[in-house]
Amino acid sequence: MKPRLLELLVCPACKGDLALRAEASAAEEIETGALTCAPCAVTYPILRGIPRFVGQDAYAESFGDEWHRFRTVQLDSANGTTESQDGFALKTGLRADDVRGRLVLDAGVGAGRYAEVMARWGAEVVGVDLTRAVDAAAENLRSWPGAHLVQADIFALPFRDETFDLAYSIGVLHHTPDTAAAFRRVAAMVKKGGQLAVYVYHAGGLMRYVSDTLRVVTTRLPRPVVYYGSLVAVPLHYVHQLPVVGRVSQILLPTIDHRHWRWRWLDTFDWYTPRYQWKHRYPEVLRWFRESGFTDLYVADEPVCVRGVKT
């Protein structure tokens, strides 16, 4: 944990200041120690350089497993592409000039694919995740001095309201128990005049109903079974490309289609394992933005992606 992060962190319960006790440091970063809130009589550990405000992965434990298994698959610097950068730009409408020099919150950092883009674009980014995915992200973001990581719950973020110039949550909020409530908590972190961008799953298409039916089974199976079962996405890619037959196969056995086989495996595992996976439509998401005081709404070509400015 970099000393700079202590300036941003507060007790998630009372929003009071935290006292630092450093036990081990390396290269000017705190590796182990604790953060204490005296009024709440609560101590939060710092382990492996990351402050931990939750004791376990709770409802999102599958993602902690996922991002350790597939730590570098979607990382631009590891796969030699700009796919994460391009995907972020498509979903948010933001470019490097929009984030350079800004303080940015990545709500649901995963293995850090988008946080790496923010760091490369010159932002100071704080990545938050409920799960041990933060440890995978720490490996991926080690070389970026402007990147910070925190293990915390979106519903109890350890920051004061209106701390960040920009916040985004790409493909995360719909995996919480209540997407709208999670949205409001992230929205509260944004300063007036700042921006918020989100991407949530779209409630549309026949495949959605088939995959939701399959998820009734897959979310109850042992995770290793789903992990290895998701390998079916690798050969199915070629079946899905066939005329007529491919369309039928994609409806009857929906898997993620991507040119890279490990990406197909990862995203199919990602689709069929999480406990929560809500779907939404544009009118609903636009209403969340307006109710939270956001205007100048940007709507991407790809559903459901929205960005707004807080007034």
**13 in a structural domain:** yes
Terminal-residue alpha carbon distance, the chain: 32
pTM of the model: 0.95
Measure Cα distances from 18 to 8, 36, 105, 250 in Å: 10, 5, 20, 51
pLDDT for 27 equals 81
Same domain, 286 and 185: yes
Same domain, 17 and 34: yes
Domain that holds residue 222: 213-272
Same domain, 166 and 306: yes
**43 in a structural domain:** yes
Same domain, 171 and 88: yes
DSSP state of 37: E
Same domain, 92 and 128: yes
CA 262, distance to chain mean position in Å, is 19
- Edge-first strand listing for the sheet containing 42-47: 19-26, 29-37, 42-47, 50-51
pLDDT for 205 equals 81
**206 in a structural domain:** no
Same domain, 1 and 16: yes
Same domain, 123 and 159: yes
pLDDT for 28 equals 84
Same domain, 182 and 233: no
pLDDT for 3 equals 93
pLDDT for 118 equals 98
Same domain, 76 and 186: yes
- Separate counts of helices (H) and strands (E) for the chain: 14, 11
pLDDT for 26 equals 86
Same domain, 78 and 155: yes
- Tokens 């490097």 correspond to 96
Domain count within the chain: 3
Same domain, 43 and 58: no
Averaged in consecutive runs of 10 residues, what is the pLDDT profile of the chain (311 residues)? 96 97 90 97 97 83 90 97 97 98 98 98 98 96 96 97 98 98 98 98 88 96 96 96 93 93 97 96 97 97 96 97
Q: Pick from 190, 192, 158, 187: which is nearest to 173 by CA?
A: 187
Token pair, residue 191, equals: 């300063």
**208 in a structural domain:** no
pLDDT for 20 equals 96
